[in-house]
């Protein structure tokens, strides 16, 4: 999901770009004012504007974020310090680690780097007896109570244009989107609210059923030939872009954190959805960022 970026003139690695960076760049620079498929398919200027996006470079994406968003750590930096980057810097899922040897040993100034991912850090915790014991029995419901985003403004993060009534009560939300809404709306919402994934749900008779998960990685289908597919309902879009059916990774409110972490690593997912055991109603989510935050 992440790739190091090497600057030839500076002769060093300057950033590590992931699919969320790409998705946000696409949504906030191209699709901001685009509202229907016909406009994209039949308006020549609009289509050319979108196609020109493919001429942009990785540098354009990096510049849109700023250099501060791409920290580089030394190989002997404390793990806790690196984990703080994962936790405090939004959408940081991998970090560059400078593993260069001193010039007197190598005779060269060439920089060498490795990539440390959130999954690597969680794997380390799971394989360290002392760290594993720290919070292994903490139930999932305690983790989501600690990690839920709290919104004090009037904006409802689930609806791009909806406004909440005035209230002094702080409310917590897990981002979701109806399976009938366009994939474009989902990607826009993720870009605006700074999240790399959101639940796809079916809302009927006052109940919510968790159907799928829209991820920033699903933007990989975006090409000159398939760009109009983002106007499909999100459920149809996901069926079209995925080569095989992807099973949702879920846990229950009383599932121990250690098991939640193992589920995420085993299934190579960034987050695990928390559901009620009897009704299977979604009640929250636990991302790898949330998992690491329990140790920081």
| 20-70 pLDDT, tens digit each | 988 888 887 766 666 667 767 767 777 777 777 778 888 888 888 775 667
Count of beta carbons in the 10 Å neighbourhood of residue 175: 17
Sign of the Cα pseudo-torsion (273, 275, 280, 282, in order): negative
Q: Say yes or no to pLDDT of 104 above 50.
A: no
The pLDDT value given to residue 236: 94
Same domain, 156 and 141: yes
Q: Say yes or no to pLDDT of 153 above 70.
A: no
Q: Percent of the chain beyond pLDDT 90?
A: 19
End residue of a domain, out of 80, 115, 131: 131
Please compute the mean of the pLDDT values over residues 85-101 and round it to a whole number: 85
CATH number at residue 238: 3.10.580.10
The Cα 135–Cα 143 span in angstroms is 10
Total tally of structural domains belonging to the chain: 2
Q: In the structure, what pLDDT confidence band is assigned to residue 246 with cuts at 50, 70 and 90?
A: confident
The pLDDT value given to residue 146: 62
Interhelix angle 257-267/118-127, rounded to 10 degrees, is 130
Q: Say yes or no to pLDDT of 143 above 60.
A: yes
Same domain, 33 and 16: yes
End residue of a domain, out of 107, 131, 155: 131
* Higher pLDDT, residue 287 or 156: 287
Same domain, 124 and 10: yes
The Cα 114–Cα 122 span in angstroms is 17
């Amino acid at each position: 999901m992440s790739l190091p970026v090497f600057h030839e003139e500076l002769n060093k690695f300057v950033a590590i770009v992931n699919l969320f960076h790409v998705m946000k760049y696409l949504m906030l620079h191209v699709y901001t004012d685009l509202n229907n498929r016909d406009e994209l398919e039949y308006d020549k200027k609009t289509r050319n504007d979108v196609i020109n996006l493919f001429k942009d470079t990785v540098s354009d994406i990096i510049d849109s974020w700023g250099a501060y968003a791409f920290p580089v750590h030394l190989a002997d930096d404390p793990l806790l310090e690196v984990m703080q980057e994962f936790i405090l810097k939004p959408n940081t899922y991998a970090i560059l680690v400078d593993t260069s040897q001193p010039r007197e040993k190598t005779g060269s100034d060439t920089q060498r780097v490795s990539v440390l991912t959130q999954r690597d850090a969680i794997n380390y915790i799971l394989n360290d007896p002392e760290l594993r014991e720290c919070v292994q029995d903490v139930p999932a419901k305690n983790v989501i109570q600690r990690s839920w985003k709290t919104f004090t403004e009037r904006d409802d993060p689930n609806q791009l244009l909806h406004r909440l009534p005035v209230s002094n009560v702080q409310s917590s939300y897990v981002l979701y989107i109806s399976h009938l809404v366009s994939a474009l709306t989902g990607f826009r919402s993720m870009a605006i609210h700074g999240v790399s994934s959101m639940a796809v749900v079916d809302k009927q008779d006052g109940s919510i059923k968790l159907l799928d998960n829209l991820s920033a990685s699903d933007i990989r289908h975006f090409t000159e030939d398939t760009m109009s597919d983002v106007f499909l309902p999100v459920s149809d879009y996901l069926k079209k872009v995925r080569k095989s059916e992807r099973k949702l990774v879920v846990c229950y409110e009383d599932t121990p954190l250690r098991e939640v972490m193992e589920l995420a690593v085993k299934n190579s997912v960034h987050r695990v959805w928390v559901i009620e055991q009897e009704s299977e109603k979604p009640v929250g989510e636990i991302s790898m960022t949330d998992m690491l935050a329990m140790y920081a």
